[in-house]
Chain A
Amino acid sequence: MMLVAKAALGLGGALVLAGAYTFHEGVIRVDVDEYRPNGSHVHMWVPAAAVPMAMHLVPKHHLQDAAQQSREFMPLVHALFKELKRYPDSDFVEVKDKDQHVMIRTHDGKLEIDVQDPGENVHLLVPLSTLDDVAAQIEASAPGA
Chain B
Amino acid sequence: MFHHPARILRKSALLVAAAMVLAPLGTLAQAQTNSDQTTSSTAKAERWLHVRVISTDAKGETVRVNVPLDLAEKVLPAVNHDRLHEGKIKIDSAHMDDVDLKAVLEAVRSAKDGEYVTVQGTENDVRVAKESNHLIIHVVEKGHVDEKGKASDAKKCQVEIKVPMKVIDALLSAGKDELDLVAALHALSTQGDTELVSVKDSENTVKVWLDSKNISD
Residues of A whose CB lies within 8 Å of any CB of B are: 13, 16-17, 20-21, 24, 72, 75-76, 78-80, 82-84, 86-99, 109
Contact = CB atoms under 8 A, between A and B. Distances in A.
B81 A75 contact: no
B42 interface: yes
Contacts of A86: 38, 42, 68, 70-71
Interface in B127-142: none
B74 A83 contact: yes
Which secondary structure dominates chain A's binding surface?
mixed
Contacts, number: 81
B62 A96 contact: yes
B66 A96 contact: no
B75 to A, nearest CB: 5
Contacts of A16: 21
A109 B77 CA distance: 24
B35 interface: yes
B15 interface: no
Interface in B52-67: 58-67
Interface string B15-26: 001001100110
Contacts of B24: 20-21, 24
Contacts of A24: 24, 28
Interface in B1-56: 17, 20-21, 24-25, 28, 35, 38-39, 42
Contact of A92 (B58, B59, B61, B66): B66
